[in-house]
Structure 1
């Protein structure tokens, strides 16, 4: 099927601006001066003008003229010319990087000693294990307190809890065994 020659795609062989040339052309991107400006492009240009006016870089009549031209601009290139002599919006001033004084830094919390935690757990298990974990609670508690004095770790309360429960359990068992030996000696 053939189309009449009056149709645009059949025309005289001269490509129209909206027709492709057959060879792919790279897209020039948003910064292309001839590209049509969008509403967002115009608003960005007006924002830059407002910032320039607010900073005292433009007088009021000049600001009004440029804003009117920005809203009437057809291409991105026209907008670029309107803001070329202004900074591109309010620019952040580089601040000197100074270290934070030590008084304002958070104090690092010392790590809890693992032996202190073990001592407290063994001390608590003395009640359930009928005192079998009392000796480990005492040993871990003393080792943890010595280690904490040397390293500065925290957990002294846990170690002390394990020590107290461990010694109470060991003392109760020692008392119970002593009473049993005395009772066996008396009865026997």
Structure 2
């Protein structure tokens, strides 16, 4: 059976149709908004508009709502039917909540660790210890929250430990020189 938009009556039942998804109050309100827009644009007459509005509030499934708004702009796409070819989603995009893809934020401690590690040679290694502390803190936070920046945290850790190692080597050489002179 092909999809039939609003005809003023009930849709013909198809035994091969995918089970209908129940409509929520928000789904009904979205359908009513589409009907209001269609009426305001002059696409629907007053009697047809009132009849469709009352049927929208009585609708139990997405398919019923779909039939009411399918011939109007911003209406949903036809509901998927049981066919061997690929079908459209059973829930029209009009009735789904808007979801914007959001990339996880970069951890601030990871950025701080990297910056402290990078400027360590210019500060005579004074920022090496903060780089190590921030790097460990950032890695723990990233594991817990799923934020980005693990690479920055690791780079800050490596640079911080290299700076600490350079200071340790410097002090060791100074101690050995002092012991050698005595």
TM-score normalised over the length of structure 2: 0.49
Please say which structure displays the higher CA radius of gyration.
1
How does the TM-score come out when normalised to structure 1?
0.48
